[in-house]
Amino acid sequence: MVVFVDITLSGLLVLNFSRLSPYLLCAAMNQRHSSLISVALREVPSFETLSVEMESLRRHLSQIDSPTVLCHNDLLTKNIIYNHNEGMVKFIDYEYADYNYQAFDIGNHFNEFAGVNDVNYSLYPSRELQRDWLTAYLESYKHSTGREVTVTEAEVTQLYIQVCKFSLASNFFWGLWAILQSRYSSIDFDFQRYAMSRLNFYFEKKEEYFGLTMK
Residue-wise pLDDT tens digits, 24-72 = 656 555 555 544 455 455 577 888 888 899 889 999 999 999 998 889 9
DSSP 159-180: HHHHHHHHHHHHHHHHHHHHHH
Band (pLDDT 50/70/90 cuts) for residue 183 is: confident
Prediction pTM value: 0.83
Q: Is 192 contained in some domain?
A: yes
Q: Is 94 contained in some domain?
A: yes
For the ranges 56-60, 131-135, 145-149, the maximum mean pLDDT occurs at 131-135
182/111 Cα distance (integer angstroms):
20
Asked if residue 25 lies in contact with residue 51, where contact means CB atoms within 8 angstroms, the answer is no
Query: Burial level of 1, CB count in 10 A (0-12/13-18/19+)?
Result: middle
User: CA Rg, the chain, in Å?
Assistant: 18
Residue 128 sits in which domain range?
Answer: 9-210
Q: Is 41 contained in some domain?
A: yes
Q: Is 1 contained in some domain?
A: no
Q: Is 161 contained in some domain?
A: yes
The structural domain count of the chain equals 1
Query: Burial level of 184, CB count in 10 A (0-12/13-18/19+)?
Result: exposed
Q: Any idea what DSSP says for residue 186?
A: -
Q: Is 2 contained in some domain?
A: no
pLDDT at residue 106, as a whole number: 96
pLDDT at residue 42, as a whole number: 57
Question: Is 130's pLDDT higher than 70?
Answer: yes
42/34 Cα distance (integer angstroms):
7
Name the β-bridge partners of 69: 100
Find the CATH number of the domain harbouring 123.
Answer: 3.90.1200.10
Q: Is 4 contained in some domain?
A: no
Q: Is 3 contained in some domain?
A: no
Check the CA dihedral 136-139-143-149 and report its sign: negative
Strand residue runs (E) in 35-175: 68-71, 80-83, 88-91, 98-101
Element (H, E) at 2: none
pLDDT, the chain, mean: 83
